[in-house]
Amino acid sequence: MNNLQPTNISLGRQREEPAGDIRNPFQRDVDRITHSKSFRRLTHKTQVFLNPEGDHYRTRLTHTLEVTRIARTISRALGLNEDLTEAIAIGHDLGHTPFGHAGERALNEILGRGAEPLSFRHNVQSLRVVDRIEKDGRGLNLTLETRDGILCHTGAKRPDTAEGCVVRLSDRVAYLNHDLDDALRAGILGEADIPNEVTCAFGDTTSERIDTIVRDIVEYSRTVGEIALSPSRVLAFDGFYHFMFDAVYRNPVAKGEESKVLGLMEAIFAYFEQNPDKLPPDYRTIAEADGLRRAVADYVSGMTDSYAIAVYERLFIPNAWR
C-alpha cells in the first residue's frame, strides 16, 4: 500500500474561517506561525549547549530552520505537499522550554509533584502554544493536519499524514548531525571519536552525512510507499543516535551546568505559583480556565534562556550583588 499521497485538501480548522485568500490553508499556517511571538523567541532558546560562547552554535530557531529545509527537500522529491511540510516543521518546537531538554526535564519534574501531578512534554506544549496561548489566548487556529504533525513529531503516535512523517524523521536527521557538529566545535568530541559505523555509512562531514541520509530516505520511501530509512542504513542510524546520547547529550562536560537549571526553574515556578497576581494578564486568564500550575508552566516554558535568567536575578539576587 502506497502511503505517499500528498495532502492537498485540508480537513479544516477548529474554527471555520471565510475562504477567498490567495494562499492555500497550509500557506496560511506557515505565515501565522512565522509571525507569532513564540516563533521569534526560538532564536534565544538553547538547543544543546547552555549559553554557549560563540556565534556559530545552533539555537532552537536554527534547528527549526534546518529541519524545515531537510523536510521540504524530502517532500519535494516525493511529490508531497511542501506547504504542509513547512507548516509542521516550522511549528514543531514552539513549546520548548528555556535551557533545551534540561529545562523540559526540570519542568516535567516540577509539575509531577503535588497532590494532582501534571506532566510536561514539549510536543504537547507546542500544540498548546498554537491552540491556547498565542494571539492573547485565541490561538492561531491552524489546520487539523498541521496540528497533528506538530503533536506527533515525537512520541509514540505517528502523524496521520506523509508530510508529518517526513518532519518526524527530518527532526532526528537534523539534530543528530548539527549537534555532532556543535560538539566538535566545542571540543566535546574529536573527529576520531565518531564511530566508524557512522562515517562508513553516511560520510565524514555534516553535509555528506545529511545528503546520504536524505537520499536514502527518498529512494527507499519511493520503493516501499512510506517514509523510512532503508534497512541497510537504519542500524547505522540507530547507532548514531545511541552514540550521540552517550557521548554528547549525557556528556558531563556538555551538560555540566544542567544541575543548576532545575534550581533556577523551581525558584521561578514557586514564585509565580505563590504570587499569581504577578503573572501577565493573559496567563492569569489561562489560570482561571486551566488551573494555576498549568498557567505558570505555560509562562515559564515560554521564556527564553536570557529572560529566565533575568527574571531569576530580579526576583532573588540583591541589586548590590549583580
Read off the C-alpha cell for 157. 503516535
Kind and range of the H or E element at 170?
helix 162-186
The pLDDT tens digits of the residues spanning 73-103 come to: 999 999 999 999 999 999 999 999 999 888 9
Read off the C-alpha cell for 296. 505558570
- Beta-ladder partners of 13: 143
Asked whether residue 2 carries a pLDDT value surpassing 70, the answer given is no
Cβ atoms of 153 and 159 within 8 Å: the answer is yes
Cβ atoms of 68 and 90 within 8 Å: the answer is yes
**Cβ-count burial 240-267 (b if 16+ within 10 Å, e if not):** beebbeebbbebeebbeebeebbebbee
Domain boundaries, the chain: 25-321
The whole-number pLDDT of residue 298 equals 98
Read off the C-alpha cell for 304. 527564553
Band of the pLDDT at 254, cuts 50, 70, 90?
low
Read off the C-alpha cell for 243. 552514540
d(CA 225, CA 71): 17
The 3-state DSSP class for residue 80 equals coil
Q: The pTM is what?
A: 0.94
The pLDDT tens digits of the residues spanning 111-145 come to: 999 888 999 999 999 999 999 999 999 999 999 99
Sequence-distant (6+) residues with CB within 8 A of 304 are 41, 44, 45, 98
Topology annotation, domain 25-321 = Hypothetical protein af1432 (1.10.3210)
d(CA 260, CA 50): 11
d(CA 92, CA 128): 11
Angle (CA) 183-186-192 rounded to 5° is 55
The pLDDT tens digits of the residues spanning 42-78 come to: 999 986 655 555 444 678 999 999 999 999 999 999 9
